[in-house]
Amino acid sequence: MKASSFVGLLLTACVTAHAPAPSTAKAVAPPTAPVAAEPICPAAMPTVAEGAVPTGARIEKVCLLGASEDDYLRLHEAVAPREGTSLDPLVLRDDLEVLYAQGSVSDVVVATQALPSGGVMLLYGVAPFDVVGSLTVTGAPALGDDTIAPKSLRADPRVLKALVRQVTDALLERGYAQATVRSTLTPVSPGKVAVVLEANQGQRQVVSSITFDGRKVLLERELTAALHSRIGEPWRQDLVERDELALTEVAFDHGLINARVRAVAPEPAVDGKVTLRFTLEEGSVFTIGKLTVTGVPAADQKPLLDSLETRPKQTFVRSQITRDLKRLEHSGRQHGVTLEVTPLTTVDAAKKKVDITFELKPTSAGAIHV
């Protein structure tokens, strides 16, 4: 029996049991053997008590209690297949987790009721999440304190956490680096709560100056141009992290293969003006040593090497090597071969040289010829 048709029958049975009898009912004779009667789900979850779990008992009926009309069919479908099976607590644990994972209930209880037949009625009691009647943001003038009446929003801790994260991120993006947000729930009517997202946005932090400590080889204007943070704009942790990577890229393009760049976390300034400070450990400038290509016939190596931007004795430039890698892949494609190009580097720290080998491997049929 499909779950949906089962639910239809179940609902019909419950309605029939509680509805006034139809006029034709007089013709129906009461059964003589009550044990043959179809068990009926209780209207609400009964009080449950601890006791011996009837593991292995036959589940004669499955009841889902407490679900909202909107959720009933979907939730019942998940547990209906237990009917007719033997009770296995581990399977029921899975059911419980599945019901919760649907995202519409805040609590789940599983219980059994013994039936005269020796089987059991399996009861899944669920409590729907409260509905969010109103959502208010306070303490965040930067976002504009506001109250909205959301549609179909449940007071699920996961949802509330996401809302808190959203407001926090919005404040961080605007430079309120110390912003904190918390949610509070106030019941307004049965099943309905008012949610307030209380923010403390704090002082906006704006980049007023940028310094690069430890700079020797690299030019300030080149470093500044690579930054995502800008003077006069909000100080943002996410941008500063991208800045560190961007500055490291600049260093790698000047042969500084051991360069380390670190942003110094600024102290929150009372006036909101912060200096964006980076410390650089540049290390030595490295040049290209040997440059080779493998995986192609010897006769094809020279033309391939000639096609590259990178040359021996040049300063090591990482972006140039990346471009050469793509150039080799393109060259392969032009000859009908898909190439996997792996740049292998050997660093000679004493001579400050980097040997580079482009290892070519065809990933599609065909030999590599230039």
Shortest Å, Cβ 98 to other proteins:
10
Smallest gap from residue 11 Cβ to other proteins (A) = 16
Nearer to other proteins, 55 or 209 (CB): 55
Partnered with residue 65 across adjacent β-strands are 125
Examine residue 190 and tell whether it contacts other proteins (CB under 8 A): no
Stretch that binds other proteins, among 47-55, 206-214, 248-256, 320-328 (CB under 8 A): 47-55
Query: Which residue type occupies 262?
Result: R
Q: How far is the CB of 116 from other proteins (least distance, A)?
A: 6
Question: Which of 2, 5, 69, 116 contacts other proteins by CB under 8 A?
Answer: 116
Three-class SS state of 328: helix
Is the separation of the CB atoms in 134 and 147 below 8 Å? yes
Instruction: Tell which one of 29, 149, 270, 365 touches other proteins (CB under 8 A).
Output: 29
Considering the rule CB under 8 A, would residue 15 count as an interface residue with other proteins? no
Residue numbers 63-92 binding other proteins by CB under 8 A: 87, 89-90, 92
Q: Where is 146: in which H helix or E strand?
A: strand 146-148
Q: Is 171 in the site for other proteins (CB under 8 A)?
A: no
Among 9, 37, 225, 265, binds other proteins (CB under 8 A): 37
Whole-angstrom CA distances from 256 to 149, 164, 175, 259, 354 are 56, 42, 32, 5, 11
Q: What angle do CA 58, 106, 7 make, to 5 degrees?
A: 45
Tally of CB atoms within 10 A around 248: 18
Report if residue 11 touches other proteins, rule: CB under 8 A: no
Among 177, 180, 279, 188, residue whose Cα is nearest residue 237:
177
**Secondary structure (DSSP) of 249-294:** HHHHTTT-TT-EEEEEPPPPPTTSEEEEEEEEE-----EEEEEEEE
Contacts to other proteins by CB under 8 A: 17, 20-21, 25-26, 28-31, 34, 37-42, 45-54, 87, 89-90, 92-93, 96-97, 100-101, 107-116, 121-123, 157-158, 160-161
